[in-house]
Structure 1
Amino acid sequence: MTVINSDRVLAARAFITDRDVCLLEWLHDHQVLTIEQITAALYDARKTATDRLLRLYRLGILERFQHTTPGRRTLYYVLGLLGAEIVAALRGDPTPRAAEVVARQRRIAMSPHLAHLRGVNQFFIDLIAHARHTPDAGVMRWWSERQCAEPLRFGSVSMHRVRADGHGIYAEGQRRIAFFLEYDRGTESVPLLLDKLKRYEQLTAQGGPAWPVLFFLPDRARERQLHQQLGRGLVATPVATATREALRTERCVADGIWLPVGMQERPYRLIELDTFSDPADDAALARLDRRPFTQR
């Protein structure tokens, strides 16, 4: 006699994989990913990803929507109700109400900041995809703006005024680089970018980590303008810039596209920025973080 479990979360345990769980947790923390991003980070073939995502969608684990821009139609995935319930069970959180999940899906799909969110997530997806195919490389941490702002994420130092677009730790061999990301679409004035940097400097002055602030810019003209402004005064926090334009000739954001402010004799690889950074080893993180350091 076959007993069918009447609880849908318990029933889902029979067919969700570790890869599925990873995706669900990413969607919980980072809201939305495109099919291209999911394929690059977790799969070796587009068809394999498409087939699996379609099954998860039909089961209510994922939800999806299309967004059309001139010349391009993109398929986005978010958590479905069952997916949200699974993540809540995994993390020991209260079971979300259906209306809450639907409201979240609608907010994401209709957000005027969808392109910015997609760009921020693309930065980390590029790193993860690079690490998948690079021996001894790995993304040790990927935190969203919301996660960075949570109390005690960085010990007693508050991040609520900084509002980083993201925070990550990337490793190659025995080297690690921790960083904050500022993803710039070119829609804000350069003085506003400088004001953001002042907040990071205040964070460092209050005992926060002196990790590089990475300004990821749309083009070289914007990069030159920012460096000119930063070169007029002393910068107390490590800063490096790179452009999406540079990715036309390089493979990804881990490559030699980063120009540290004040050290522009050559582009640096991402991992090489650890030279200008506070350490991001386990001991340093344990002193700073109130939450356990774990490698995903």
Structure 2
Amino acid sequence: MTQTGHDRVLYAQSFLTDRDLRLLDWLYDHQVLSTAQIAAALFNRYPPAQERTLRLYRLRLVERFRSPHLPGPGWYHILDRTGVEVIAALRGDAVPRVADMTAQRRRIATSPNLPHLLGVNQFFIDLIAYARRQPAAALLRWWSERQCAAPLRFGMVSMYRVRADGHGIYEEGDRRVGFFLEHDRGTESVPVLVEKAQRYEQLVTEGGPAWPVLFSLPDRGRERLLHEALGRQPRAIPIATMARDRLRPDVSVADAVWLPTGASGAPEPPRRLIDLGGLGDPADDAALMRLDRRPFRP
């Protein structure tokens, strides 16, 4: 531990690696990750991730917890006070009050929305893990629901109509796809999902990007119901679905698991994520500079 009078942020920074900073940065934006998710995204094996997160816990950079409502015996990690202060200093953000940071940690750990948040984060972790194995692939952007909803995040287009669970830009070779993610746990009716799709269409009519909206669904039965409800009429924005019960341990969300909606005639074969980029607006640098108030840097 630090000696009395020493700056705990400067002390902790002396032990941090680039990989540690990436993890803290993710937790700052995306709130919570399991040890298994951290291992998949940043390490080759589970034990080194376990050892490193324990080190960060002892430095008070992360806090950890278990929950009887979450699967598996492992730990779930959120930023502790020092971790918040480290990332806030790097970004130039104001540091929340200690009481507010404590309340935030407790809200995350006890939230009934926690399984949904972990499911959203798992989607992006899967893409990052896939890109670790494929040198030509990269997840260039990973934004949370809160980041998507920030004012002027997409230029002058207001996102008040939609509450995307996440937004990403994924690249393979010289191809790129921008997308919005809707992670469904089967707790909402299918008409509610259709209404969400319609809100994205309204966003496009107001000048928003016509990037694919990806519905990650729990099973093939619910996927079939959503396709039937959306029908086959042309839409202003591409919509594709994935049934998570179709995923095997050796299959990634980057693979051919996506079914575009609105197809006519015989069912189309599933498409790879990168192939969905051809269905909507480009996610090239020029388009992103027009929409993103901040400079786009892959």
Fold shared per TM-score above 0.5: yes
Letter in 2 for 1:245: D
2:280 counterpart residue number? 277
What is the rounded CA distance, in whole Å, between the counterparts of 2:90 and 2:48 in structure 1? 25
8 Å CA contact 1:116, 1:183 repeated in 2: yes
1:78 is the counterpart of 2:93: no
The answer to whether the Cα contact below 8 Å between 1:5 and 1:11 also exists between their aligned partners in 2 is no
User: Any idea what SS the aligned residue of 2:121 has?
Assistant: helix
Superposition deviation, residue 233 in structure 1: 3.9
Deviation at 1:96, TM superposition (A): 2.5
- Larger displacement relative to structure 2 (51-60 or 88-97): 88-97
Aligned counterpart, 1:195: 195
CA distance in 1, matches of 2:160, 2:29: 17
- Aligned AA for 1:48? P
SS of residue paired to 2:159: coil
Tell me which residue corresponds to 1:107.
Answer: 107
RMSD: 1.6
CA–CA distance in structure 2, aligned partners of residues 71 and 41 of structure 1 = 19
Instruction: Provide the C-alpha distance between the structure 2 equivalents of 1:294 and 1:36, rounded to a whole number of angstroms.
Output: 29
SS in 2 for 1:241: strand
Aligned partners of 2:106, 2:90: CA distance in 1, in Å?
A: 24
Q: CA deviation at 1:168?
A: 0.2
The match for 2:153 is: 153
Q: Which residue of 1 aligns with 2:185?
A: 185
* 1:158, distance to aligned residue in structure 2 (A): 0.7
Matches within 5 A, 1:118-133: 118-133=118-133
Q: Which runs of 5 or more residues in structure 2 are unaligned?
A: none
| TM-score, normalization by structure 1 | 0.95
Question: Which range is displaced more, 230-239 or 72-81?
Answer: 230-239
* SS at structure 2 position matched to 1:48: helix
Aligned to 1:82, what secondary structure does the other structure show? Answer: helix
Supply the distance in 1 between the matched residues of 2:63 and 2:41 (Cα, whole angstroms).
Answer: 19
Give, in angstroms, the shift of residue 97 of structure 1: 2.0
Which stretches in structure 1 are left out of the alignment for 5+ residues? none
Residues 67 and 74 of structure 1 are in contact (CA less than 8 Å); yes or no, is this contact kept in structure 2?
no
- What is the distance in 2 between the residues matched to 1:51 and 1:74? 12
Counterpart-to-counterpart distance in 1, 2:250 and 2:59: 39
Amino acid at match of 1:211: W
Separation in structure 2 between the aligned mates of residue 208 and residue 72 of structure 1, nearest angstrom: 40
Q: 1:13 to 1:71 in 2, by over 3 A?
A: closer
Percent identity between matched residues is 61
Deviation of 1:72 (Å): 3.5
1:46 aligns with 2:46: yes
SS in structure 1 at match of 2:135: coil
CA drift at 1:275: 1.2
Corresponding residue for residue 16 of structure 1: 16
Paired position in structure 1 for 2:31: 31
SS in 2 for 1:242: strand
CA contact (8 A) 1:28 1:87 kept: yes
Q: Does 1:63 align with 2:58?
A: no
Offset at residue 161 of structure 1 (A) = 2.1
Question: Matched residues in 1 for 2:49 and 2:176: separation?
Answer: 30
Report the Cα distance in structure 2 between the residues aligned to 1:138 and 1:71, rounded to whole angstroms.
28
Specify whether residues 71 and 259 from structure 1 end up closer, same or farther in structure 2 by C-alpha distance, changes over 3 A only: closer
Distance in 2 (CA, whole Å) between partners of 1:244 and 1:94 is 39
Query: Is the 8 Å Cα contact of residues 184 and 215 (structure 2) preserved in structure 1?
Result: yes
Instruction: Tell me how far 1:192 sits from its aligned partner.
Output: 0.3
Q: Structure 2 counterpart of 1:50, which letter?
A: Q
Which amino acid in 2 is paired with 1:67?
S
Aligned to 2:290: 287
Mapped contact 1:177–1:279 kept (Cα < 8 A): yes
**AA partner of residue 194 (structure 2):** L
Distance 1:150 1:45 in 2: 36
Deviation at 1:6, TM superposition (A): 1.6
SS at match of 2:96: coil
- Please give the alpha-carbon distance, in whole angstroms, between the structure 1 residues aligned to 2:229 and 2:200: 17
- C-alpha spacing 1:289/1:26, structure 2 compared with 1 (3 Å): same
